């Protein structure tokens, strides 16, 4: 499937910092609940992600990540997920988070 640059521009991908992370035992697959701060204008948003193979909740605090911030909220069990934190699979299909290689301002838009 081919998309246009205009299609890509509609996806709002921003940099945020994980401020809080907790185990999500109610999830069908092992997951972690996340609170991500995107700075002024967007603020803090909630999400959940299947990150337990490579990350612990305490190890995620302070990490900068990329997330899609303009999807509609989605109910995941008892958690209302407001953003989609982005990652790629490793050789075993486990999620590895995507983030900037250097510290950048919160809310920065991927382009």
- Measured CA to CA in angstroms, residue 52 lies from 60, 63, 66, 68, 76 at distances of 11, 15, 18, 20, 17
Looking at residue 77, its pLDDT comes to 85
Percent of the chain whose pLDDT exceeds 70: 100
Looking at residue 84, its pLDDT comes to 97
79's enclosing H/E stretch is: strand 79-81
Task: Give the pLDDT confidence of 47-90 residue by residue, as tens digits.
Answer: 999 999 999 999 999 999 999 999 999 998 889 999 999 999 99
Examine the pLDDT at 26 and tell me if it is beyond 90: no
Q: Taking the domains of the chain in order of start, what are their residue ranges?
A: 5-97
| 5-97 CATH, one of 1.10.3720.10, 3.40.50.970, 2.40.50.140, 3.30.470.30 | 2.40.50.140
Find the mean pLDDT for residues 32-61.
Answer: 97
């Amino acid at each position: 499937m081919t998309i246009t640059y205009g299609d890509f521009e509609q996806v709002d991908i921003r940099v945020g910092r994980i401020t809080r992370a907790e185990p999500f035992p109610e999830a069908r697959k092992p997951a972690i609940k996340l609170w991500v701060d995107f700075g002024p204008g967007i603020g803090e948003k909630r999400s959940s992600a299947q990150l337990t193979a490579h990350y612990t909740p305490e190890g995620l605090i302070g990490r900068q990540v990329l997330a899609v911030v303009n999807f509609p909220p989605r109910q995941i069990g008892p958690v209302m997920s407001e953003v989609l934190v982005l990652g790629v699979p490793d050789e075993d299909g486990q999620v590895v988070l995507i983030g900037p290689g250097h510290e950048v301002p919160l809310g920065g838009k991927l382009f």
